[in-house]
Structure 1
Amino acid sequence: MRVGIVTATYLPSRNGVATSTALFARGLRDLGHEVRIFAPRHPQMPPREDGVYRLNSSFAGARALGAPADYPVMLAPGPLLTSRLPLRDLDVLHTMHPFLAGQLALRWSRLSGAPVVYTAHTQYDQYLHYAPMPGRVGRAVLRPHVSAFARRVDAVLAPGRAMVDMLREYGFAGRVDLLANPVDLASFRAASGAAFRTEFGVEPETPLVMYLGRLAPEKNLD
C-alpha cells in the first residue's frame, strides 16, 4: 500500500505525535508498504529525508497559538506546491490532527480517492492552558470541531480508552477502534533497575516507577 501521513509535527521536533509518526512509518515500511510523510519544515531537519515532504511552517505562528517552542505551525500549501506533491496514487491517508493537517488530508483524499484515517492522539482540553484564550472559550470551539472532524473521516482510531472517552465527551458517537501507539523496545534494553536502585539507595522490595517525558500539567504526574 501507499500510505500518506499528514502530520502537524515531525522529527526533529520532540513530542509524542512526532515520535509515534516516525515509529508508525518505520513499522509500515518494514512490512513492505510505501510511506510518504507530509510535515512542516523544521530548521534542524536533515538535508535529505527519504519519503518526507516538507510544507512551509512558522515558528512565530506557533508562539501566537501557545504551541511549544519546538513545534513549528504548518502553513497551508498553495496550488503550486500541492501540484508537486505525490498525492494522486495514495491508497490511504492518515492523520493525528483534526485541524489544518486533518483538513489537508480530507482535501487531498479527493485527489486520490483514498480514505482518511484519524487517530485521536491528544486530549486537547488538557492543553488549553497554553492557548491565548479563556479555557471556557477554547472548549466551546474545540469540542464541536473535533467531533465534526471525526464524523467526516472514514475511520477513527484511538491508542487507549481515555481517548475514546474524550471523543464521547466531545460528542462523537461513531465507531472508534483501538490501536496502541508504537514503542521501540530496543531503546530500553540497556536500562538496569538494579543499578539504579544501588546508585540511589532504593531497596529491592520497594516498588520503582519510571517516567520519561515532559514535566507539564497535562501529563497528570501528580
Structure 2
Amino acid sequence: MQEHTIGNTVTRLSQASGRRLHITIVSETFPPEINGVANTLRYLCLGLRRRGHRVTIIRPRQRHESTGEVSEAGECLFSQEHLVTGLPLPGYGELRFGITRPGYLASLWKRRRPDAIYVATQGPLGVAAVSAARRAGIPVSSGFHTNFHAYSRYYGAGFLEKLLCAYGRWFHNRTALTLVPTRKIARTTADMGIHSTSLWSRGVDCSRFTPHKRDQTLRQQWGLQPNDRAVLYVGRLAPEKNLGMAVACFERLRGLHPNARLILVGDGPMRKRLAERHPDYVFAGTRRGEDLARHYASGDIFLFPSKTDTFGNVVTEAMASGLAVVAFDDAAASEHIRHEDNGMKARLPDDEGFVDHALRLADQPTLMNRIRTQARLDALELDWAAQVDQFEYLILNHPQRNHSNAVQQQGISLL
C-alpha cells in the first residue's frame, strides 16, 4: 500500500492555495438513498462544496425521478448532477446500477473538463467512467466501499467470489489510486492484487449524533422501563449483515434480562421473515436525520454483527450517540474500538465471544456506562472536515496524476 498522510502543513497548503477545483464523483448510489456509500458521499460533497469546489455528480436515475437529464444544486451537495439510465440491482431492489456509454461521458468532460474524477462504485457506470477518463487523460481515482465479492456467498452465489475478486482487481488497477477506509481493507486489497491504495477513513457528525437526543418517551413506546436495556441494530436487514448473530445474541441476553428489547432500525429483504418469527421485536423501519439520531441516542447496547462491511458508519454513529458497541474486530471497530475501554470487540471467528461481550455489558451497568462515556469522547475526535481535507489531497496529489497529464499531452490512448 502506498500510504499518504496529511497533517496541518498539508491542510494549510490546500486552504492557502485558494484554487477552486472541478471534481466529478461517479456513483451508483447517492443521497437520499440510505447506505454507507451514500452517507459517506453526502459528507464528502458537503465538505468539498464548503471549500468552494465545483462538484458534479453522475449517477443512475431512480424510479421516482423524472426523465430530465440534468439537475442543479440540490441541498448544497453538488453544483450539477447528470442522471443516466438506471436498472434494478439484483438482491437490492431499492438500488440501481447505471448504464451509459463512455462516449457520452467523454462528451460531457470535453465541454467542461474536471480536474479530477472519483469513481465510488465499480458497476457498469463506474467502468464507463474509468474508460472515458483514461481516454481523456483526466486523473481518475476509485473507492473500495463495498465487499461485493464477499457478499456473493450470502446470496447463494459463492461460486462467483473468485470471479468477482478478479473483476475488482481489474477495475481498481485501471485507476491511478484506490481509496480504502481501513488498514485491514488495505491488506485485503493487496491480497486481491490491487496495487496502488491509500487510506481514507470516515468521520462522524457529532452534532447530529449525540447522547443529548435520548428520548424517554420513545423508550416507553418500545416497552422499556428506565433501567431496562434497549439493544439496538441499525442497518440493512439483509443476509450479508449476519443478522442471525444479532438475533442469537439478543435471545441469550433476554434469557437473563427478560425486559430487554431488540430494536431494529432499517429495512431490507429479511424484515418480513424476522417480523414473522419475532413479532415482539421492535421494527422501526427506515429512519433519517434527527429521527435517526433520536433512535440511536435512546438505545443502550449497539450490536454490529457484520463480518463483510468495509467500514460501517453505524459504528461511529453509535459511538457518537453514547452507545456501548459490540462488534467483531473488523472494519470501523478494528480502527476505533479499544476493547473494554470504548467498546467491546471479538475476534472474527469468535461468535461466542461476541455474545459474551454483550452479556457482560447487560450484567455490569458500571462497565457499560463507562464505555458509553468514553465512546462519545473518542467520537468527538473523528472530524469529517479532516477526512475531506485528506480526500482532496490524495486525489489531487497522487504521483500518477502527473503521469495522466503527460499521457494526455502526448495524445496516447491508455485503453
Could you say which TM-score interval applies, normalised by the shorter chain? 0.7 to 0.9
Q: When the two structures are aligned, how many residues end up with a matched partner?
A: 211
Per the TM alignment, residue 4 of structure 1 is displaced from its structure 2 partner at its CA by 0.7
TM-score (norm: length of structure 1): 0.79
Instruction: Find the partner of 1:25 among 45, 52, 65.
Output: 45
Alignment of 1:15-164 (within 5 A): 15-45=35-65, 48-50=71-73, 51-59=80-88, 62=89, 66-77=90-101, 79=103, 81-82=104-105, 85-86=108-109, 88-110=112-134, 112-129=136-153, 134-136=157-159, 138-164=160-186
Q: 1:181 aligns to what SS in structure 2?
A: coil
Structure 1 portions without partners, runs of 5+: none
1:12/1:44 contact within 8 Å kept:
no
SS at match of 2:149: helix
- AA matched with 1:28: L
2:217 and 2:191 map into 1 onto residues whose CA distance is 41
| Higher deviation after alignment, 97-106 or 140-149 | 97-106
Where does the alignment leave 5 or more consecutive residues of structure 2 unmatched?
A: 1-20, 74-79, 246-415
Does structure 2 retain, via aligned residues, the 8 Å contact 1:40–1:56? yes
Counterpart of 2:41, as a letter, is T
Cα 1:83–1:93 change in 2 (3 A) is closer
Higher helix share: 2
Q: Is the 8 A contact 1:53 1:85 kept in 2?
A: no
> Which residue of structure 2 lines up, in the alignment, with residue 180 of structure 1?
201
Q: RMSD in angstroms over aligned alpha carbons?
A: 3.0
Aligned equivalents of 2:94, 2:72: Cα separation in 1: 19
* Aligned counterparts of 2:226 and 2:183: Cα–Cα separation in 1: 33
Quote the Cα distance in structure 1 between the aligned partners of 2:129 and 2:102. Answer: 14
> 3-state SS of the aligned residue for 2:142?
strand
Alpha carbons of structure 1 residues 104 and 158: separation in structure 2 relative to 1, 3 Å: same
Residues 216, 169 of structure 1: alpha-carbon distance in 2 compared, 3 angstrom cutoff: farther
CA contact (8 A) 1:89 1:112 kept: no
Residue 67 of structure 1: how far off its partner (Å): 3.6
Q: Percent of aligned positions with the same letter in both sequences?
A: 26
Q: Quote the Cα distance in structure 1 between the aligned partners of 2:108 and 2:87.
A: 20
Among 209, 212, 216, the alignment partner of 2:234 is: 212
Note the C-alpha offset of 1:9.
1.6
Cα shift at 1:39: 0.2
